[in-house]
């Protein structure tokens, strides 16, 4: 099997440019270390060849692992490079798909002009996709969705080749077998690949419905799909070695199914209403990704292809419907996590970019039909074509650059490092919330920072597999004797705190401080974390030297990249200064209190009203 797009040319600079231009942009804006959300967890799982959160993402972890051997940067940066590579490959596949759909189009008798017009359309589509806010955001740190987009694009390309051979009277079932193998393989990157299956099924059936009657070919296609799916054996095999991060501990069939089927996540869905439904549908938003000009070009591209290859257009439209029916209909995604489902549409946006390329070509065709061009095309015409094709990607890059520039984003790294600096030796700190815990896991597990402390994650205390991963803390814990799965993580946290209190210094992070109420303990601030003490134990004098030891890169400056959890981390610093200032004022250290309140306002101007209330209460100057 070969890729015709790579044949008949000794050198195709557009293939290289469709990869290198996005890759250069990503490398300039790449995050230098761990970020928030799932980053720290993926980094830890990949570097240790363990298991990430359900359903494990084994192929993604195996893909990024070789990048950890690069001879430059820290482990997080190297894995971020892996995502930049997969995103750039996705852009390359946009070029391949676009030029494949346009390869038989003829504008003029000038063969060179026709070929370059098609190449320009493919390159413009590739770069446009590369600088959309969604893909760019995923390309700057560890994310599985670009790799999923690459595999889905390869499947679409192979089906186009199979379709072309079929129309020329050649049976090539091997293309379909490879597609089913890749689809099974892609399940180990992200399970949303199943939402693309109806589109591929339509492409096959609308081309040759008799495929459904060929039992031998159906059996072989299923066998190849299972062969690809078998990469999931990585999970139980690696679990036997007890890697550093072994989410779900999928050694047994029962635990593997629990992990693969996402049984650890809550299944309650919110009540449906019109506002929620609209927000769910708007998760797929072509104008937001490509601008309204891009949306118009998509419509032109679809109209152009409708006359040439209706199965492709039908497959694309059916995929949009399936995605929205499943994500908005079946899952009924809650309002607060809809932003997470936006990432699932990355393969759909890749196809959308392909139609932008065909739309640009259609626009050029209309311009040529209305103009009188000489038989020999000169340089000015090529210049006009270049301007026409590359206005959109240039504008997208200019608009989205600032928001996606993470080259100086150390906030998650510093937040985790500062939290660890706040802890005395041999402490245990309970965390609550993925973004607060995952950077800590990375720093401790991969960067080997503060290995003397333990960092139990409160929501996981209800799972036996998690208790097994920390035997020195929970081997004989009462958590194993009660039904914590029914009682909930708050009860589990109180039990765990009681068992460790008096044996080790017990701390909680900011999220735990404001998520759980303790009847027997009070939180005593220590920088951005809190030590738990008995109600009748004096709180002591605050240690202001901690703040001077903190690294605060990006806290005072305006951030180009500011997601929800990065903003939350900044607010945690500001709130920490505010709380410290209020406590200092209460014990009569007025000058220190004024300094701390001013610092809180510098970090977050939103704290001014709260700071003013404290000043009024204690008659402090601004």
Q: What is the pLDDT of residue 127?
A: 96
Summarize pLDDT for 331-381 with one digit per residue, the tens.
788 887 788 888 899 999 999 999 999 999 988 888 777 766 555 566 666
Sheet holding 529-534, edge to edge: 428-430, 506-508, 529-534, 521-526
Mean pLDDT of all residues in the chain? 89
* Residue 8 pLDDT exceeds 80: no
Helix%, strand%, coil% for the chain, nearest 5: 65, 5, 30
pLDDT for position 556:
77
Residue 200: band (very low, low, confident or very high) from pLDDT cuts 50, 70, 90: very high
The two structure tokens encoding residue 448: 């080997």
Q: How many domains does the chain have?
A: 3
pLDDT at 597 over 80: yes
Task: Give the residue, 543 or 590, on which the prediction is more confident.
Answer: 590
* Residue 298 clears pLDDT 90, i.e. is over it: yes
Do 417 and 436 fall within a single domain? yes
Question: What residues form DSSP beta bridges with 506?
Answer: 428
> Mean pLDDT over residues 233-242, rounded?
94
pLDDT at 593 over 70: yes
**What confidence tens digit (pLDDT) does each residue in 258-289 have?**
999 888 777 677 777 888 888 888 889 999 99
Whether the predicted pLDDT of 299 surpasses 70: yes
> What is the per-residue pLDDT for 171?
82
Same domain (yes/no): 239, 340: yes
| 491 and 399 in a common domain | no
What pLDDT does 92 receive?
97
Predicted pLDDT at 374: 57
> Which of 389, 404, 419 corresponds to the end of one domain?
404
Q: Which of 18, 6, 184 is nearest to 89 (CA)?
A: 18
Query: Is residue 413 located within the same domain as residue 397?
Result: no
pLDDT tens figures, 569-589: 899 999 999 999 998 998 888
Q: Is 542 within the bounds of a domain?
A: no
- Domain assignment present for 378: yes
Note the pTM of the prediction, 2 decimals: 0.92
Is residue 448 very low, low, confident or very high in pLDDT (cuts 50, 70, 90)? Answer: very high
Token readout for 281 is 């549908």
Of 90, 74, 12, give the one whose Cα is nearest residue 39: 74
- One domain, residues 392 and 428: no
Of the residues 537, 566, 581, which one is the last residue of a structural domain?
Answer: 537
**Are residues 445 and 499 both part of a single domain?**
yes
Range of the domain at 577: 554-622
Task: Let me know whether 503 and 358 are in one domain.
Answer: no
Answer yes or no: is pLDDT of 15 > 90: yes
Given a cut of 70, is residue 3 above it in pLDDT?
Answer: no
* pLDDT: which is higher, 264 or 10: 264
Report pLDDT for 488.
Answer: 87
- 320 plus 428 within the same structural domain: no
Q: Is 80 exceeded by the pLDDT of residue 549?
A: yes
Residue 545 lies in a domain: no
Predicted pLDDT at 224: 95
- Contact between residue 250 and residue 53 where contact means Cβ atoms under 8 Å apart: no
228 and 192, same domain (yes or no):
yes
Place of tokens 């967890």: 41
**614 pLDDT more than 70:** yes
What would the 3-class secondary structure string for 89-144 be? HHHHHHHHHHHHHHCCCCCCCCHHHHHHHHHHHHHHHHHHHHCCHHHHHHHCCCCC
Asked, for residue 544, whether it belongs to a domain, the answer is: no
- CA proximity to 348, closest of 149, 205, 500: 149
pLDDT score at 240: 93
Residue 405 vs residues 113, 116, 392, 399: alpha-carbon distances, Å: 36, 32, 19, 12
Cβ pair 554, 408 in contact under 8 A:
yes
Contact 525, 580 (CB under 8 A): yes
| pLDDT score of 282 | 87
**Strand pairing class (506-508; 521-526):** unpaired
Both tokens of 547, joined, read 């703040």
**Residues 103, 117: Cα–Cα separation, whole Å:** 10
Please indicate, yes or no, whether residues 324 and 415 belong to a single structural domain of this protein.
no
Residue 414, pLDDT above cutoff 90: yes
**What is the 3-state secondary structure of 203-242?**
HHHHHCHHHHHCHHHHHHHHHHHHHHHHHHHHHHHHHCCC
Task: Work out the average pLDDT over 477-485.
Answer: 85
- Do 184 and 300 fall within a single domain? yes
Asked whether residue 180 carries a pLDDT value surpassing 90, the answer given is yes
Summarised one tens digit per residue, pLDDT across range 61-96 is: 999 999 999 999 999 999 999 999 999 999 999 999
Euclidean distance between CA atoms 424 and 504, whole angstroms: 10
- Please tell me the predicted confidence (pLDDT) of residue 10: 62
Instruction: Judge whether 131 lies within some domain.
Output: yes
How many percent of the chain have pLDDT more than 70?
95
The answer to whether residues 418 and 283 belong to one domain is no
pLDDT class for 312, splitting at 50, 70, 90? very high
Query: Looking at residues 4-18, what average pLDDT do you find?
Result: 73
In a domain, 424, yes or no: yes
Q: Is 503 inside any structural domain? A: yes
Spatial CA neighbour of 382 closest among 362, 368, 401:
368
Gap between the Cα atoms of 473 and 284, Å rounded? 45
More confident residue, 323 or 372: 323
- Contact yes or no for 283/342 (Cβ under 8 A): yes
**Three-state SS for 29?**
helix
Question: Quick check: 11 pLDDT over 80?
Answer: no
Last residue of a domain, one of 358, 376, 404: 404
For the segment 248-256, the average pLDDT, to the nearest whole number, is 92
Give domain status of residue 430, yes or no: yes
Task: Please write the tens of the pLDDT for every residue from 453-479.
Answer: 999 999 999 999 999 999 889 888 888
């Amino acid at each position: 099997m070969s890729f015709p797009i790579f044949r008949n040319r000794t050198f195709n600079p557009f293939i290289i440019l469709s990869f290198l231009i996005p890759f250069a942009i990503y490398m300039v804006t790449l995050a230098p270390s761990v970020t928030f959300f799932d980053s720290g967890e993926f980094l830890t799982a990949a570097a240790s060849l363990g298991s990430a959160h359900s359903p494990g993402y084994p192929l993604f972890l195996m893909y990024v692992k070789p990048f950890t051997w690069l001879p430059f940067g820290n482990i997080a940066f190297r894995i971020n490079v892996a995502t930049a590579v997969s995103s750039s490959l996705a852009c390359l596949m946009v070029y391949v798909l676009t030029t494949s759909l346009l390869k038989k189009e003829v504008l003029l008798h000038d063969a060179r002009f026709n070929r370059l017009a098609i190449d320009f359309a493919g390159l413009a589509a590739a770069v446009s996709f590369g600088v959309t806010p969604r893909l760019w955001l995923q390309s700057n740190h560890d994310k599985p969705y670009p790799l999923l987009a690459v595999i889905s694009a390869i499947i679409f390309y192979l089906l186009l080749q199979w379709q072309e051979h079929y129309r020329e009277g050649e049976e090539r079932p091997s293309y379909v077998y490879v597609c089913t193998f890749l689809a099974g393989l892609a399940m180990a990157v992200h399970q949303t690949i199943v939402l693309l299956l109806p589109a591929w099924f339509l492409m096959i059936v609308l081309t040759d419905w008799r495929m459904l009657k060929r039992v031998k070919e159906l059996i072989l296609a299923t066998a190849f799909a299972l062969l690809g799916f078998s990469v999931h054996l990585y999970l139980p095999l690696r679990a036997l070695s007890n890697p550093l991060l072994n989410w779900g501990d999928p050694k047994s069939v029962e635990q593997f199914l629990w992990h693969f089927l996402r049984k650890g996540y809550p299944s309650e869905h919110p009540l449906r209403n019109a506002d929620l439904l609209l927000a769910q549908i708007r998760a797929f938003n072509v104008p937001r990704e490509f601008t309204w000009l891009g949306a118009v070009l998509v419509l032109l591209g679809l109209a152009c292809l409708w006359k040439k290859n209706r199965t492709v257009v039908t497959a694309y439209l059916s995929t949009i419907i399936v995605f929205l029916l499943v994500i908005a209909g079946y899952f009924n995604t809650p309002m607060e996590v809809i932003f997470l489902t936006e990432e699932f549409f990355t393969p759909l946006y890749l196809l959308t970019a392909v139609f932008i390329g065909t739309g640009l070509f259609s626009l050029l065709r209309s311009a040529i039909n209305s103009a009188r061009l000489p038989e020999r095309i000169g340089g000015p015409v090529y210049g006009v074509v270049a301007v026409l094709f590359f206005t959109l990607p240039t504008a997208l890059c200019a608009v989205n650059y600032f928001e996606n520039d993470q080259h100086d984003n150390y906030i998650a790294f510093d937040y985790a490092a500062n939290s660890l600096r706040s802890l005395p030796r041999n402490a245990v700190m309970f965390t609550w919330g993925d973004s607060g815990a995952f950077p800590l896991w990375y720093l401790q597990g991969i960067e080997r920072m503060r290995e003397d402390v333990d960092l139990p994650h409160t929501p996981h205390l209800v799972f036996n597999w998690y208790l097994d991963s920390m035997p020195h803390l929970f081997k004989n814990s009462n958590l194993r004797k009660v039904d914590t799965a029914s009682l909930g993580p708050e009860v589990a946290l109180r039990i765990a705190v009681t068992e460790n209190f008096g044996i080790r210094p017990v701390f909680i992070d900011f999220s735990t401080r404001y998520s759980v109420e303790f009847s027997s303990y009070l939180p005593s601030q220590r920088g951005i974390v809190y030590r738990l003490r008995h109600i009748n134990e004096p709180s002591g004098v605050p240690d202001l030297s901690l703040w001077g030891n903190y690294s605060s890169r990006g806290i005072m400056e305006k951030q180009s990249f500011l997601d929800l959890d990065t903003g939350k981390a900044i607010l945690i610093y500001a709130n920490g200064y505010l709380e410290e200032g209020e406590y200092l004022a209460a014990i009569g250290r007025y000058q220190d209190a004024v300094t701390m309140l001013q610092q809180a306002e510098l970090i977050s101007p939103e704290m001014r009203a709260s700071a003013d209330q404290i000043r009024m209460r204690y008659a402090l100057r601004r």
